[in-house]
Amino acid sequence: MDRLSDDDLALLLLIRFFELKLLALFERGELNGTTHTCLGQEYVPVALRTLLRESDWVFSNHRGHGHYLARFEDPEGLLAEIMGRKGAICDGVGGSQHLKRDRYLSTGVQGQSLSVAAGVALRLKRHEPGALACVYIGDGTWGEGAVYEALNLAQLWRLPLLVVVEHNGIAQSTPTALQMAGTVEGRARAFGIEHERLDISDISVIRPRLAPRIERVREESRPLVVEFATHRLGPHSKGDDTRPPDFPRADWFAAYQAAHPVQSARIEAAARTRIDRIAAEVAARPPAVWAVA
């Protein structure tokens, strides 16, 4: 793998150790509810970070901590939200899955965000040419009818909609091969929508490959489906992992450590220290108070 900038690697490992810290907090009984970590998939939103603009909308899902951190680099606010502490993004009522900040929205309802993103893309086309709506979905979301309704309208109306598919091969506990006929590409092509599949995790290769495709979404106001063949290292949520031992779990960071050990060790240590410090500071805050307007 090519050497990453310190900034990119620091953001990747910020996400990695944020997610690991959440799992550790759950094990100690310091968090309630549940959480869905993006361990192994961190490179997807980080690769897209420089290709998206402040004027773009981003729609995330239940596995969205990496999407949020790549957008805002705000681990303090996100952890406060999940822990229900002062300084929380949404006063602690959104929790891990349901967030609203500026032009960023997340939901735990599969397929819901794609319809909303299509509507936002229509408004952007009419009033803010050059801006786009980016929506993250997983391979399991293709079982929802709302996905096809949104794609149909996106192509009919030529909407600036970027659909990012994080295809990790399993939908909660069901392997994709057991619940999805055909391919993501075939389904996109059925609507006449362009599709790009990426089987790599090297950000230095991903960005130049996607940059012209995403510019076409902006300039020509047309939808695009980008499919990342990725790997979820952790369980579906905080503990339910039914995958067999031989299920693919390739880790981009293990490969990167082998290629660039000195840089990896230095930035890994800094990321661990930063997250430990943030977790201790946020845990000491008073509870968040929901301010009803």
Q: CATH no. for residue 48? A: 3.40.50.970
User: Residue 248 pLDDT more than 80?
Assistant: no
What tokens appear for 167 in the block? Answer: 């295809």
DSSP 8-class letter at 165: E
The pLDDT of residue 242 is: 77
Q: Are strands 224-229 and 194-198 parallel, antiparallel or unpaired?
A: parallel
The SS3 assignment for 232 reads coil
Cα 55 to Cα 161: distance, rounded to the nearest angstrom:
13
In angstroms, the Cα distances linking 115 to 127, 159, 174, 176 are: 19, 12, 24, 23
Write b or e for each residue in 94-115: b if 16 or more Cβ atoms lie within 10 A of its Cβ, otherwise e: bbbbbbebebbbbbbebbbbbb
Kindly compute the dihedral angle of the four CA atoms of residues 24, 25, 27, 28, in this order, to the nearest 10 degrees: 120
Average pLDDT over residues 257-283: 98
Question: Number of structural domains, the chain?
Answer: 1
Inter-residue contact 109 to 117 (CB < 8 Å): no
Residue 98 CA, chain-centre distance (Å), reads: 13
In a domain, 293, yes or no: no
In a domain, 290, yes or no: no
The SS3 assignment for 230 reads coil
| Kind and range of the H or E run holding 195 | strand 194-198
Report the largest interatomic distance among the alpha carbons of the chain, rounded to a whole angstrom: 53
In angstroms, the Cα distances linking 172 to 110, 149, 163, 184 are: 12, 23, 20, 18
Sequence-distant (≥ 6) Cβ neighbours of residue 180 within 8 angstroms: 139, 140, 142, 143, 171
The pLDDT of residue 293 is: 62
What are the residues facing 135 on neighbouring strands? 59, 163
Domain containing 263 equals 6-237+249-283
| CA-based torsion, 276, 279, 280, 281: positive or negative | positive
> How does pLDDT run across 150-160, given as a tens digit for each residue?
999 999 999 99
Inter-residue contact 241 to 292 (CB < 8 Å): no
Q: What secondary structure does DSSP assign to 22-57, as a single string?
A: HHHHHHTT---S-----TT-THHHHHHHTTS-TTSE
In a domain, 122, yes or no: yes
Window from 73-77, 106-110, 240-244, 285-289 with minimum mean pLDDT: 240-244
Cα 34 to Cα 52: distance, rounded to the nearest angstrom:
29
Percent of the residues in the chain that have a pLDDT greater than 70, as a whole number: 100
Sequence-distant (≥ 6) Cβ neighbours of residue 170 within 8 angstroms: 139, 140, 176, 232, 236, 243, 247
In a domain, 270, yes or no: yes
What is the value of pTM for the model shown? 0.96
Average pLDDT over residues 205-232: 97
In a domain, 289, yes or no: no
